[in-house]
Amino acid sequence: MIQNETRYGVWLMVLTTFIFATQDGLSRYLAEATNTTTIVMIRYWFFAFFVIAIARRQKGSIRAAAATRQPILQAFRGALLACEIIVMVLAFVYLGLVESHAVFAVYPLLIGALSGPVLGEHVGWRRWTAIAVGFVGVLIVLQPDSGVFSPYAAIPFVAALMFAVYGLLNRYVARQDDAATSFFWTGTVGAVVTTGIGVFFWEPLVGWDWGLMAILCVTGAAGHFCMIKAYEVAEASAIQPFAYLQLVFATAIGLFVFGETIRLNVAVGTLLIVAAGLFTLWREKVKKAA
């Protein structure tokens, strides 16, 4: 039974990564057609509605879902994720899906590097070595010493750093709040923050763009639902490595839909980053088992 549940969780995670990669492609197209903040704002409106519906179902009321002894930290988490999504969509526009995801793939290594000073967790020499290898991969992708370096390449790295801090804060708030409460704060605060920014840059969508926006909103809710179900039926250590498939799917969309290319340095650097990330996940699993 456990094996079947793990297999189910793996397939749910694969579906989740495919949905999120599709979202990235839609976000890039729509952000180029209008602007980034408008797209993220509308997306968050629907996301907040979805979050409130889930919270009321799981907690019985909005008041119960919002109850927390760490409201400032929860609000900061939600605001940080909203800003990270804006930054990442900007990376899609300026750098494309392929190279943006190649750099963003470093975020699990950033979580490993920051887990010591932020959460007080012990990081052994093996994981520090993997983190160093991953950062070498980032330098290979960015090529900061070459004439082809683009300052836009720093945008997905900033997004990865923000997402890593968000991931660490998830662990921290989980010591007192359950997932439903954190999910509620993520959606509602994010909607407030993106609206506060987006209203100053509002551009109306036209024609089929509204249809694509509707698909983006629905896939966002579907992706989060699949992800929640995946972590419900299987252990995180078993399915987390499959999250890297989002890089594969997003790269395919970038190549075949947007006509992007993969430079040799990007391919080599990405392989190093992913290999280092998978190794850190494996070492974390071994440490927990011990």
Task: Indicate if the pLDDT at residue 147 is higher than 50.
Answer: no
User: What is the Cα 209 distance to its own chain's centre?
Assistant: 24
Q: Which pLDDT score, from 0 to 100, does residue 62 have?
A: 85
- What's the predicted TM-score (pTM) here? 0.85
Residue 60 tokens, joined: 């019985």
* Highest mean pLDDT of the ranges 52-56, 66-70, 134-138, 272-276: 66-70
User: What is the Cα 132 distance to its own chain's centre?
Assistant: 22
Task: Indicate if the pLDDT at residue 2 is higher than 50.
Answer: no
CA geometry: angle at 98 spanning 195 and 284, to 5°? 85
Residue 111 tokens, joined: 């979580």
**What confidence category does residue 1 fall into, taking pLDDT thresholds of 50, 70 and 90?**
very low
The percent of residues in the chain predicted with pLDDT above 70, rounded, is: 90
Please state, in angstroms and rounded to a whole number, the distance separating the CA atoms of residues 108 and 86: 20
Average pLDDT, the chain: 84
Q: Which pLDDT score, from 0 to 100, does residue 25 have?
A: 94
Segments forming the whole domain that contains residue 20: 2-289
Mean pLDDT to the nearest integer, 90-102:
91
Count of the separate structural domains present in the chain? 1
Q: Which pLDDT score, from 0 to 100, does residue 170 have?
A: 83
Mean pLDDT to the nearest integer, 133-153:
71
**CB-based contact 6:238 (threshold 8 Å):** yes
**What confidence category does residue 150 fall into, taking pLDDT thresholds of 50, 70 and 90?**
low
Q: What is the pLDDT of residues 206-250, one digit of tens each?
A: 888 999 999 999 988 888 888 878 877 777 667 777 888 888 899
- Placement of tokens 């797209």 in the chain: 39
Please state, in angstroms and rounded to a whole number, the distance separating the CA atoms of residues 231 and 234: 5
Q: Which pLDDT score, from 0 to 100, does residue 130 have?
A: 80
Q: What is the pLDDT of residues 175-209, one digit of tens each?
A: 888 888 888 999 999 999 999 999 999 998 888 89
Please state, in angstroms and rounded to a whole number, the distance separating the CA atoms of residues 80 and 159: 10
Q: Which pLDDT score, from 0 to 100, does residue 118 have?
A: 67
What would the 3-class secondary structure string for the chain be? CHHHHHHHHHHHHHHHHHHHHHHHHHHHHHHHHCCHHHHHHHHHHHHHHHHHHHHHHHHCCHHHHHCCCCHHHHHHHHHHHHHHHHHHHHHHHHHCHHHHHHHHCCHHHHHHHHHHHHHCCCCCHHHHHHHHHHHHHHHHHHCCCCCCCCHHHHHHHHHHHHHHHHHHHHHHHCCCCCHHHHHHHHHHHHHHHHHHHHHHHCCCCCCHHHHHHHHHHHHHHHHHHHHHHHHHHCCHHHHHHHHHHHHHHHHHHHHHCCCCCCCHHHHHHHHHHHHHHHHHHHHHHHHHHC
**What confidence category does residue 4 fall into, taking pLDDT thresholds of 50, 70 and 90?**
low
Please state, in angstroms and rounded to a whole number, the distance separating the CA atoms of residues 251 and 40: 21
For residues 122-148, one letter each, b for 16 or more C-beta atoms within 10 angstroms of the residue's C-beta and e for the rest, the string is ebeeebeebbebbbebbebbbbeeeee
Mean pLDDT to the nearest integer, 28-43:
92
